[in-house]
Amino acid sequence: MDSLEKQLICPICLEMFTKPVVILPCQHNLCRKCANDIFQSSNPYLPIRGGSATSGGRFRCPSCRHEVVLDRHGVYGLQRNLLVENIIDMYKHEYISRPPPETKVDQPMCEVHEDEKINIYCLTCAVPTCSMCKVFGIHKDCEVAPITSIYQTQKTELSDGIAMMVGNNDRLQGIISQLEETCKSIEENGRRQKSKVCEKFDHLYTLLEERKREMTLKVNAEQEEKLNYIQGLTTKYGDHLKSMTNIMETGIQTLEEPEMALFVQNAKPLLQKISEALNTSHLERVERGYESMDHYSVNFNREGRALRNIDFTRDDEEEEELDEEEVGVDAVEQAGQSASGEAGSLTQMNEPLPPLLPPHPLKRPTTLS
């Protein structure tokens, strides 16, 4: 029956399913409260009424990572699994009401007093010890407490820490998914903006080809910079998620330790690791609109009109005759003044183009709190 009990454990709260039990599209089950907690952690910006999600959204199944899409009813729109609820009722009535069989476990002995069992906890030194060490040994001046109370306290803390890590893992997975979508948006926006730049420059003369190359390189440079940054963030979040998963698995194994003293010995460093892992202040988060590349939009209407107006000067409008070379230089110079604006006039056709003005500064990332 132990295998049956394992099938009735919620993967979020690590306790037996609490009714009502909802069934996800992937056929995995969750307590409705746990499903609501995952939904809120995955959709922190959606409005929540009465402590429950009542609007559409999505989250990932903690068992298989399948994406669950909710309708406007939220988690209340998920179907109840009455079969699992009935099995839980039968199991509780048949087995949990019976007294558990007594199991004998080997209790660790004191290293100093080999005949004494470890039965107290030294609060001063933060180690489990025996009664003889308190009366005659190195802990006689220390403050102690029954090991049972310390056992219950640390077991509760460890259970709460694991539950928090489960929810936080789903939140990190959601952020990684958003970062992956951001990468796709940056690539698509970059391609679209490069295409627009190329289409605009295709209608100009060879004189503007160098400027087209420089602007395309600008778009490529920012696209590569953003992609490298987002991919780096994805790697950081993935590494942090993997580390938290390893700690969570170690915590679950520690919870199964039946001996209180061994549990207390292992629980303290594990709780410290959990506390450090839950701190995500060192992870950055991309600001809204970071993937936008719209600041590279171009408009050459004014330059196009200036180029279309280039023409030879008529003799009746000139008081002095200009040879063919001077007329050509004047026309090109006028077109250059109209097209480059603040960049200055073009006095010769082979004069280098002015440098491109840099776009507005990139949005700085913020630290994930």
pLDDT tens string 276-335: 888 887 788 888 888 888 888 888 788 778 878 867 767 665 555 455 445 444 544 554
pLDDT tens string 220-252: 999 999 999 999 999 989 999 999 999 999 999
**Res 145 pLDDT > 90:** no
Q: Helix (H) and strand (E) counts for the chain? A: 9, 10
pLDDT bin (cut points 50, 70, 90) of residue 148 is confident
Per DSSP, 204 falls in state S
Average pLDDT of the residues in 107-126: 80
Average pLDDT of the residues in 65-94: 82
How many Cβ atoms from other residues are within 10 Å of residue 282's Cβ? 9
**Res 69 pLDDT > 50:** yes
- List the single range of 172-186, 257-271, 332-346 with lowest mean pLDDT: 332-346
Q: DSSP letter string over 208-273? A: GHHHHHHHHHHHHHHHHHHHHHHHHHHHHHHHHHHHHHHHHHHHHHHHT---HHHHHHHHHHHHHH
Higher pLDDT, 275 or 100: 275
How many Cβ atoms from other residues are within 10 Å of residue 50's Cβ? 6
Q: What is the pLDDT of residue 102?
A: 60
How many Cβ atoms from other residues are within 10 Å of residue 263's Cβ? 21
Q: Is 236 helix (H, G, I), strand (E, B) or coil?
A: helix
pLDDT tens string 324-359: 445 444 544 554 454 444 333 333 434 454 555 445
CA distance 369 to 295: 29
For the record, the structure tokens of 116 come out as 């004494």
Decide which of 3.40.50.1400, 3.30.1330.10, 3.30.40.10, 1.20.1280.50 is the CATH code for 1-42+55-97. 3.30.40.10
Average pLDDT of the residues in 144-169: 86
Q: What SS3 string covers 298-341?
A: CCCHHHHHHHHCCCCCCHHHCCCCCCHHHHHHHHHHHHHHHHHH
